[in-house]
Amino acid sequence: GNAPPGVDPEAFSWFQTVDVDHSGFISSKELKQALVNNNWSSFNDETCLLMINMFDKTRSGRIDVYGFSALLRFIQQWRSLFQQYDRDQSGSISFSELQQAFSQMGYNLSPQFSQLLLARYAQRSPNPSIQLDRFIHICMQLQSLTDAFREKDTALVGNVRLGYEDFLTMVVTRML
């Protein structure tokens, strides 16, 4: 059939291929099978779930063709940004490239924090680097937590005073 109004025909065609069970929806598992990083590794489960939840308007744990089309545009924007920060065109983002990316995105983060993210999200190797899926994941979570922090930092001074349970609530409501 033809693509529904407002859905890119290429996205519609890909949706039909990815929707393996022909349910009219795409699950996190189906999405994972469809997306690959520059090194041909599959996207991470957590990242797929995070993106499904972002575009799942019905809270059913899956997305329809409209959500999928929006998700593809979203990924393409992140891929362009990723390629811009992947200065050596290696297909992944190194520590120094990650530091530059954060700085250019307006985050004033210490090298120690960037190293912590690299240790948490990069594949184990002598020269750890971040693939596209993990870059999207880190940036989405960083943005979400920054928004939560800004809600508390109304004077924009860069620090807040909050109780332990307020902190936990802030983090838990913005996690998967």
Helix (H) or strand (E) holding 63: strand 62-63
CATH of domain 9-173: 1.10.238.10
Q: What pLDDT does 175 receive?
A: 67
In the chain, where are the structural domains located? 9-173
Whole-structure pTM value:
0.84
Instruction: Return the structure tokens found at 132.
Output: 């596209």
Contact 166, 174 (CB under 8 A): no
Number of Cβ within 10 Å of residue 12's Cβ equals: 16
Q: What pLDDT does 123 receive?
A: 81
Rounded Cα gap, residues 77 and 81, in angstroms: 6
Rounded Cα gap, residues 126 and 162, in angstroms: 39
Integer CA distances (angstroms), 138 to 2, 105, 117, 122, 161, in order:
36, 13, 8, 11, 25
pLDDT averages per 10-residue partition of the chain, 176 residues: 87 92 94 88 91 90 93 92 95 94 92 93 88 93 88 89 89 72
